[in-house]
A and B are shown apart, each in its own frame.
Chain A
Amino acid sequence: MLLLQTLRGAPNQSVLESSGPLADRVESLWWFAFATASIVYLATMGGLWWAAARARRRERQGEELPPDGERRMTRGVTIAVSATVVILLVFLITDLTVGRTLDPVPRKHPITVELTGKQWWWDVQYADTSAQGRVQTANEIHIPVGQPVLFLLNASDVIHSMWVPNLAGKKDLIPGYTQSMWFQADTAGDYRAQCAEFCGLQHAKMALHVIAEPQAKYEKWIDEQRKPAHTPTDSVADRGREVFLTGQCAMCHSITGTSAASHNGPDLTHLASRRTIAAGTLPNTRGALAGWIVDPQQVKPGTHMPPNQLAPQDLDALLTYLQSLK
């Protein structure tokens, strides 16, 4: 039981806590394999123990091997080998069957998300009717509960892999080749996804949050995301906006509604609405944001975000501005 608890891991990132139709199938496949392997393991260990005990008893009592011992041994080995082959075949067939039921994309999928893996964060774009024709965000995907969502996967540098254990299996993101996958969440929740293909120094800190919520809440979220960035009304935030646009920030980040339009780094139009920063590395708080801006290499060594030298009052203004981007 304790072992099972350990295997289960965190509730929001676990194959054994499935929350969607695809993950259900993967989970039952996992349980089937686990049960079969456990039975085989116990049987093998028991048989081994029994054989050892019997041989010892015979030796102590000075018994000879029975005359048909050789034949019985051959029969035993043949049975064991055939059982192994059969079990492996059953594994193969169930595995392929589950794989095939996961693949086809449902004909009706109201939402399409383009997901691009980058070192070391996720670029998220919803095909949309907004002015830009798309809604752009990063490291956080919101989906409505009970609806299939289609994902078009791509990568811009190296191979990454998308894995939300609670919702679906893995799928690789390959540079220059668009793959597709889909999943559906049946219960609302915040599911953590992780890059599952080693992609460089900060592979471990490349997380993505999939937030499944009721339809109405999702609609409200996407409506907010469609809007251009909030224009600051107070002088501090206004100064922060100037710092952002005239300094290093705008060289890599974009904010819709301003002149910042570079797509090297994550889009920050609605930064303050996200739960984490730096691809799930830090909570989205003022302090964490300040530390990340000033010395990102301490938090995530090797990240492509460079350190920023800012005067204290400029940093303060910049933080106020970024936190106003709801």
Chain B
Amino acid sequence: MRRVFRGSGVLRASALIAITCTSLASLTSCKRETRRLRESPPSATPGGAVRVSSLQPGVAQDTTHARNLYEGNAYAVSEGQRLFNWYNCSGCHANGGGGMGPPLIDDEWIYGAGPEQIYTTIVQGRPNGMPSFAGKVPAQQVWQLVAYVRSLSGLNPASTRSARTEHMMYYPGSQALPMETSPKQAFRPPASEMP
């Protein structure tokens, strides 16, 4: 190493900068792949009801929402992708394209696109077909599903999205495609074809 750097100060400095930048850049990927396999307490479903609004009656309390721990985590997104088929979400939402149920790769969210909103949609069920999964799917897995569902329309960080999905991806911003245009400008089917 020493011999390489002896030649010129510029070369040496630039090599040092390159090494520092590479190691710093690799540090950012650590969090991306963290595998939270065992939540504590192990068998508890966290926090019961999830707050979807900061408004509240009675005495003012801490208004922070239950946050999705898995939002920026690639492992959780891929686990969510597996569960999406295991629990037959694909039976109605067809890999995100929609069928019997509404599509998930567009920017239309009847009951909200926030992590907490998707969580409550899954847990409580919704009119006209969405069943309630309360007591059927543990909270940890629901949050993983939330992370995956949001990744379908490009709502979580691009670094968490699977690069090897077999699912639909003809929208910019959906799985594995770089975000070229925001989902707002993306193609939308005419109203008559909306589910």
CB < 8 Å neighbour of A246 from B37, B43, B135: B135
Q: From residue 282 to 326 of chain A, which have CB atoms closer than 8 A to chain B? A: 294-295, 297-298, 301-302, 304, 306-310
- Chain A residues close to B by CB (< 8 Å): 246-248, 251-252, 264, 294-295, 297-298, 301-302, 304, 306-310
CB-defined contacts of A246 to chain B, threshold 8 Å:
135
Further pairs besides A297-B42, A309-B43: 12, Cβ < 8 Å: A246-B135, A248-B135, A251-B137, A264-B86, A297-B37, A298-B42, A302-B37, A306-B138, A306-B141, A307-B39, A307-B138, A309-B44
Indicate whether B184 reaches chain A with its CB closer than 8 angstroms: no
| A-B contact number at CB 8 A | 45
**Would you call A307 and B135 a contact (CB within 8 A)?**
no
Indicate whether B136 reaches chain A with its CB closer than 8 angstroms: yes
**A301 vs B36: C-alpha distance when bound (angstroms):** 10
- Nearest-neighbour CB distance to chain A for B141, whole angstroms, equals 6
Indicate whether B3 reaches chain A with its CB closer than 8 angstroms: no
Query: Given A297-B37, A306-B141, A248 and B136 touching (CB < 8 A)?
Result: yes
CB < 8 Å neighbour of B43 from A251, A264, A294, A301: A294
- Nearest-neighbour CB distance to chain A for B134, whole angstroms, equals 11
**Would you call B137 and A295 a contact (CB within 8 A)?**
no
**Would you call B38 and A298 a contact (CB within 8 A)?**
yes
Query: Given A252-B86, A309-B43, A309-B44, A297 and B138 touching (CB < 8 A)?
Result: no
**Would you call A302 and B35 a contact (CB within 8 A)?**
yes
Would you give the 0/1 interface string for B56-98, flagging 1 where the beta carbon is closer than 8 Å to chain A? 0000000000000000000000000010001100000000000
**Would you call B137 and A307 a contact (CB within 8 A)?**
no
Indicate whether B151 reaches chain A with its CB closer than 8 angstroms: no
- The list of the 5 closest CB pairs from A to B, nearest first, reads A297-B38, A295-B42, A307-B43, A306-B138, A301-B37
Does more than half of chain B's interface fall in helix, strand or loop, or is it mixed?
Answer: loop
- Nearest-neighbour CB distance to chain B for A142, whole angstroms, equals 29
The contact size tier of chain B is 10 to 19
**A294 vs B39: C-alpha distance when bound (angstroms):** 12
CB-defined contacts of B87 to chain A, threshold 8 Å:
251
CB-defined contacts of B174 to chain A, threshold 8 Å:
none
**Would you call B135 and A301 a contact (CB within 8 A)?**
no
Indicate whether B156 reaches chain A with its CB closer than 8 angstroms: no
- Chain B residues close to A by CB (< 8 Å): 35, 37-39, 42-45, 82, 86-87, 135-138, 140-141
Chain A residue nearest to B139 in the complex (CB): A309
- Nearest-neighbour CB distance to chain B for A242, whole angstroms, equals 13
CB-defined contacts of A308 to chain B, threshold 8 Å:
43, 138
**A267 vs B17: C-alpha distance when bound (angstroms):** 57
Chain A residue nearest to B75 in the complex (CB): A302
**Would you call B38 and A301 a contact (CB within 8 A)?**
yes
Query: Given A294-B42, A309-B43, A309-B45, A251 and B136 touching (CB < 8 A)?
Result: yes
CB-defined contacts of A310 to chain B, threshold 8 Å:
43
**Would you call A248 and B137 a contact (CB within 8 A)?**
yes
- Nearest-neighbour CB distance to chain A for B167, whole angstroms, equals 16
- Nearest-neighbour CB distance to chain B for A135, whole angstroms, equals 24
**A248 vs B137: C-alpha distance when bound (angstroms):** 6
- Nearest-neighbour CB distance to chain B for A202, whole angstroms, equals 10
CB-defined contacts of B44 to chain A, threshold 8 Å:
309
Chain B residue nearest to A119 in the complex (CB): B82
CB-defined contacts of A248 to chain B, threshold 8 Å:
135-138
**A298 vs B38: C-alpha distance when bound (angstroms):** 7
**A310 vs B136: C-alpha distance when bound (angstroms):** 12
- Nearest-neighbour CB distance to chain B for A300, whole angstroms, equals 9
